[in-house]
Structure 1
Amino acid sequence: MVIYHIKELIDAKSAKEGRKISMAEVAEAAGLQKAAISKMAKNNNYSTTTRTLDALCTYFDCKIEDLITYQHQSL
């Protein structure tokens, strides 16, 4: 399963900038839909595009492995 680290990245950016950053602000700044950011933050099997991942990496100034990780699920 792919795990998105949207909440953690928002918290880190908020702390660094000394202000509260909302998912709506992230979505607008990255040129994405707020619903997509919300679904990714909930980690409920949301599928996305490389364009979205690229936009988020650019916004957060992070590497892809900071944004997503893969967690193996036992069958």
Structure 2
Amino acid sequence: MKIDWAALGSVFGVSLGVTVGLVVLYTLGISALTRRERAAAGGGSGALALTGASVCFAACAAAVAYGISLIVA
């Protein structure tokens, strides 16, 4: 049995990068929702923060759906 270490390292690197990217996107979404709440408490609208949070969460959902479709296919 021969292990292709280069392929294993490549899979590890890509999965680590995607995981970190998803965590960062989700964290940015939570941060944007917090900014929206602060703006609403201060009398502002926070519409831009809500839009940013929605984009971050939609990107996370799309990445998860893509991953599930890769597993199922």
Confirm or deny a common fold (TM above 0.5): no
Structure 1 or 2: more strand by fraction = 1
More relative contact order, 1 or 2 (CA 8 Å, 6+ apart):
1
When the two structures are superposed, what TM-score results if normalisation uses the length of structure 2?
A: 0.28
When the two structures are superposed, what TM-score results if normalisation uses the length of structure 1?
A: 0.28
Q: Which has the larger radius of gyration?
A: 2
Structure 1 or 2: more helix by fraction = 2
